[in-house]
Chain A
Amino acid sequence: MDIIVNPFITVLTFLYTVLGSNMVLAIVVFTLLVRLLMYPLTAQQMKSSQAMSKLQPELKKLQEKYKNDREKLASEQMKLYREYGFNPLSGCLPLIIQFPIFIGLYQAIIHALAANPMQLLDLSGRILIPGVDAVIPLDNKFIGLNLTQPPHIGAGGTLETVVGIALVALVVVTTWLQFKLTTPAPQKNANGKPDPSASMTQSMGTIMPLMYGFFALSFSIGISIYFIVSNLAGIAQAFMMGRADLRNVLPFMKPAPAAAAAQIEGKTAAIAAKSSAGPTPKPKNK
């Protein structure tokens, strides 16, 4: 992990130096930089997840139709994927690559904000460019709050309590917002009941923000800032890619997304018909 964490710490410390010894600004710029570098991967992952969710109704139909013939089901699913130019692994790979990078980012912030002798000792030798470590230890104060400490809600002064509550609230709200905007609304199955897997995803959408809120209460304020900036960057990225759906947050904006659904339904029907009647359609991507 040091192979990722140490360069990150070096960049974070360098940013701190050039940004007027402002740790919050350094965390913000650093998070945005990493997000920017990760853009191709997250874009690919977002695209895949959208494509997958669009294919869900069709996959369900195929599952129903070939529930007693696993081999046939697999080949029909592959046909469907080819038809839409979708690679099932294309969503996983970016996630796998991103995971260590985000953990590294997270750890870099923890290490750089060394709060006690053991942590500062851990920081030694991690800064790879000679001279950059002259600013160590980094100033970990932010409007009177210690960035290395969790928010002391109630225990500290009024300012600490207010800022602490605001930070935790922002973590919860931005996590929820990012989830809602980028996750398709639950679809109903043939019986008119919510799809079980979609319900599961939606319940994750409730639990995840609360979980991150708990992290914000337990971990250092610096990490909360990272969560907030990272969430906001994720939301901005989703909007830029046209993958954010405001209707998930503002239901009154909801028009019937019938056209898209109908288009997919039609294609599925065609594929199903062709596969049972004769040769399969030619894939779009060769």
Chain B
Amino acid sequence: MQTSRWLRRGLTAAALIILPILLSSCVGGPVDPVWGSLSLYGDPQHILFAFNDRIVMLDPVDGRPVPLRDNEGNVRLDDQGNPRIWQILTTEGTPAKFFLSPIPLDDDRLLVVSYDRGLFEVDAPTARFENPAGQSLGGQQVVAPPLLDGETLYIPFNGNNLIARQGTDFNQIWELRTSQGMWSQPLLIDGILYATSLDHNLYALNPETGDVLWQLDMGGAVTAQPVFLDGYLYVGTFGRQFHQVEIGQTGRIIASYPTRDWVWSEPAVQDGVFYFGDVGGNLYSLRNGDGSFEEVMPPVKVANGSIVATPLLTEDAIVVGSRDNFTTWVGRSTGEIIAQRQMAGSVLANMLLIEPSEQNELSRPIVVVSTMNHTEFVVAFAADTGERIWAYTR
């Protein structure tokens, strides 16, 4: 009887422990809210990769983290005498998440905007935070890179606003409130600041005061930065449309192309042709006609997962990353898949094309791709053949 009672109590305790775990699993475990980013920095150019707990600088030749050097060019050593590499880890004191490319402030300083902790200044030669506590952004989240123009920093927030701050002391200059988050980098053209929002609007703003000059309903949420070409803005939306927008005293949609699914990111543009994907895995290539768009080739389904990253254009191919863990080379004239490489994780961040130059010692152009999987954080492929060259893992 006594044993049975203890057994019951044990079972109750076990149930009380298991139930919350089960319920927690129903809402999913902690998932990274955004994908990482790749950018080029320095002379010679190196790759900066930011993802979650790290920002690391890689050599494009072999994908290895770049060693830190002192003024004499000697490799810096840590306390144990090991070579120090260009790497910032949040596990080493600053509890922030990094998904955005650092912004060069001057020759030796980078501005790093974390997802939820604020602004950090990094001393580039030593890869150390100048302000480890960060400049608070009031607990707001940032999912798109801010725009630094001269002395002003324009930061789009997930919390339904765009804030202009001084680039030096980060004091606020003005704020624009929107009814949904802002997930794209603002664009400054001819003294007008253009910003898109999930609230379906394209805003034209006075960059000094934040006054709205005009706003235009795009018919769906916009997560892409507008692209400026020949006096017009071009942007895709969740309303399954790719628009050409006339800008001036007011904004006006003058041409639209219906897409099969939501368009997430900005197009790549070359020779007047726009290349972009949608979240249904379709790839488009359009040329702007007279008040309409012409298909350079019909839409092609190149992936079973979403295409979020802006396609990359090589000499002969359109390189597409997709959520179904593939990087795909598509013929620019045929629309046929030339090569496809399986990755360890989703390819959602914009890719890099690095051409050989005297500074970087590359023998041929490479395509640099990042995933959200630590076993293959960054991978380099030969731009023409898709041959795998190196990979950076955790």
Residues on A facing B (Cβ under 8 Å): 103, 106-107, 110, 115-121, 124-125, 133-134, 136-137, 139, 141, 146, 152, 155, 196-197, 200, 203-204, 207, 211, 214-215, 219, 223
Contact = CB atoms under 8 A, between A and B. Distances in A.
Contacts of A134: 219-220, 238-239
A121 B141 CA distance: 17
B2 to A, nearest CB: 11
Contact of A107 (B26, B35, B280): B26
Contact of B35 (A115, A117, A141, A196): A117
A130 B12 CA distance: 47
Nearest to B179: A139
A200 B12 contact: yes
A215 B23 contact: yes
Contacts of A211: 16, 19-20
25 contacts: A107-B27, A115-B158, A117-B33, A117-B35, A117-B143, A117-B223, A120-B223, A121-B306, A121-B308, A121-B348, A125-B261, A125-B279, A133-B262, A136-B220, A137-B180, A137-B181, A137-B221, A139-B180, A152-B139, A196-B5, A200-B12, A204-B12, A204-B16, A207-B16, A223-B27
Contact of B158 (A116, A118, A197): A116
B29 interface: no
A155 B179 contact: no
A200 B180 contact: no
Size class of the B contact interface (CB-based, 8 Å): 35 or more
A271 to B, nearest CB: 25
Contacts of B112: none
B392 to A, nearest CB: 22
Contacts of A125: 261, 279-280
Contacts of A106: 26-27
A218 to B, nearest CB: 8
Contact of B279 (A124, A137, A152): A124
A214 B24 CA distance: 11
A20 to B, nearest CB: 14
A119 B158 CA distance: 13
A175 to B, nearest CB: 13
Contacts of B158: 115-116
Interface string B347-378: 01000000000000000000000000000000
A214 B261 CA distance: 39
A155 B139 contact: yes
B44 to A, nearest CB: 32
Interface of B: 5, 8-9, 12, 16, 19-20, 23, 26-28, 31-35, 139, 141, 143, 158-160, 179-181, 183, 198, 219-221, 223, 238-239, 261-262, 264, 279-280, 306, 308, 323, 348
A197 B8 CA distance: 8
Given A106-B27, A116-B158, 18 more contacts: A103-B26, A116-B33, A117-B33, A117-B143, A118-B34, A121-B279, A121-B308, A124-B261, A124-B279, A133-B238, A136-B220, A136-B262, A137-B180, A146-B159, A200-B8, A200-B9, A204-B12, A219-B27
Contacts of A223: 27
B33 A203 contact: no
Contacts of B348: 121
A4 B31 CA distance: 22
B306 A124 contact: yes
Given A134-B220, A196-B5, A116 B262 contact: no
A110 B26 CA distance: 10
Nearest to B372: A118
A228 to B, nearest CB: 16
Given A117-B35, A139-B179, A124 B262 contact: yes
Contacts of B33: 115-119
Contacts of B238: 133-134, 136
A110 B279 contact: no
Contacts of B183: 117
- Nearest first, the 8 A-B pairs at minimum CB distance are A116-B33, A124-B279, A117-B34, A103-B26, A137-B198, A118-B33, A200-B12, A110-B27
Nearest to A116: B33
Contacts of A215: 20, 23
Nearest to A137: B198
Contacts of A137: 180-181, 198, 221
B188 to A, nearest CB: 23
Contacts of B9: 200
Contacts of B31: 118
Contacts of B279: 121, 124-125
A266 B34 CA distance: 67
B144 to A, nearest CB: 9
Contacts of A117: 33-35, 143, 183, 223
Contacts of B221: 136-137
A152 B34 CA distance: 22
Nearest to A107: B26
A103 B158 CA distance: 28
B279 to A, nearest CB: 4
Nearest to B308: A121
A106 B28 CA distance: 11
A259 B380 CA distance: 81
B27 A121 contact: no
A212 B283 CA distance: 46
Contacts of B308: 121
B314 to A, nearest CB: 26
A86 B89 CA distance: 63
Contact of A116 (B5, B141, B239): B141
B379 to A, nearest CB: 21
Contacts of A197: 8
A144 B181 CA distance: 14
A117 B183 CA distance: 8
Contacts of A146: 159
Nearest to B12: A200
